[in-house]
């Protein structure tokens, strides 16, 4: 199956409401090609260029910044492809250390650009590869699962967003470093229970905000101690998040 036109890809990505930057080279005529998959690759960025624009070029079809901006570079075959390899190459800006978290916005953008390309070609999520990024902690299996969920949604219908299941009391008491904590903090802020910038590290501020949510749900005394419980967690409706947990 031949590649969709550059305009078709841009339209699809804008439909996913991504933060999109399109270089003029994206519309430059390129040789016809028939890509067979998607390769997600890590690439370093300059400290003075956190958006990753220094990484763009014919080596990749797109670059996804740490903040989730998708920069489209070329719609044709990337120059660095191996002989016989016809794949979209999507670079993800990363410092190159496994201990560095993959930001939720970047993971979300990687998910949506992968889903868009899979849908355009009629592929399943098994066409998404990324061994180098996976070695740096990219949760590739979870990303494929999210792409599968998006692809399985009825055409023309936006499926109900999946919710993050309750991680368990012990999980919170381990003081996790996880995107789930960030997403939870955003929901608490939306409910008027948090007034701090949400972050991935579970901290006393999160517990205090969650205690306010528990009281908002009618709990009192020891039942509103700030440690999430299954009932109030389900009521909070925390959106599903790609997990990249780190525990101290």
Average pLDDT, the chain: 83
For 8-65, the pLDDT digits (tens) are: 888 888 877 778 888 888 888 888 788 889 999 998 765 545 555 555 556 789 999 9
Rounded mean pLDDT, 146-157: 73
Per-residue pLDDT at 143 exceeds 60: yes
Per-residue pLDDT at 82 exceeds 70: no
Joined tokens for residue 23: 């270089």
Given a contact cutoff of 8 angstroms between Cβ atoms, the answer to whether 28 and 128 are in contact is no
pLDDT recorded at residue 75: 87
pLDDT recorded at residue 157: 42
Nearest to 64 by CA among 27, 104, 122: 104
- When mean pLDDT is compared over 57-66, 84-93, 175-184, 213-222, the highest value belongs to 213-222
Q: What is the pTM of this model?
A: 0.63
- Kindly give, in sequence order, each residue whose CB lies less than 8 Å from that of residue 232, ignoring residues fewer than 6 positions away: 210, 213, 214, 217, 219
Rounded mean pLDDT, 137-153: 90
- Kindly give, in sequence order, each residue whose CB lies less than 8 Å from that of residue 12, ignoring residues fewer than 6 positions away: 4, 116, 119, 120
């Amino acid at each position: 199956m031949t590649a969709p036109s550059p305009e078709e890809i841009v339209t699809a990505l804008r439909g996913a409401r991504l933060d999109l930057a399109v270089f003029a080279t994206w519309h430059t005529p390129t040789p016809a090609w028939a890509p067979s998959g998607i390769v997600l690759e890590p690439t370093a960025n300059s400290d003075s260029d956190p958006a990753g624009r220094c990484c763009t070029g014919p080596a990749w079809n797109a670059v996804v910044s740490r903040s989730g901006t998708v920069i489209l570079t070329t719609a044709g075959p990337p120059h660095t492809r191996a002989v016989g390899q016809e794949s979209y190459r999507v670079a993800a800006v990363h410092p190159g250390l496994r201990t560095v978290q993959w930001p939720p916005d970047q993971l979300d953008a990687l998910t949506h650009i992968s889903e868009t390309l899979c849908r355009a070609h009629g592929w399943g999520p098994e066409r998404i590869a990324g061994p180098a990024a996976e070695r740096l902690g990219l949760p590739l299996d979870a990303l494929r699962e999210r792409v599968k969920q998006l692809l399985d949604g009825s055409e023309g219908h936006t499926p109900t967003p999946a919710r993050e299941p309750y991680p368990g009391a012990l999980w919170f008491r381990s003081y996790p470093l996880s995107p789930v904590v960030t997403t939870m903090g955003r929901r608490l802020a939306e409910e008027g229970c948090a007034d701090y910038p949400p972050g991935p590290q579970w901290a006393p501020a999160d517990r205090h905000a969650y205690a306010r949510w528990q009281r908002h749900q009618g709990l009192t005394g020891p039942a509103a101690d700030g440690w999430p419980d299954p009932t109030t967690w389900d009521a909070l409706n925390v959106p599903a998040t790609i997990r990249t947990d780190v525990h101290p």
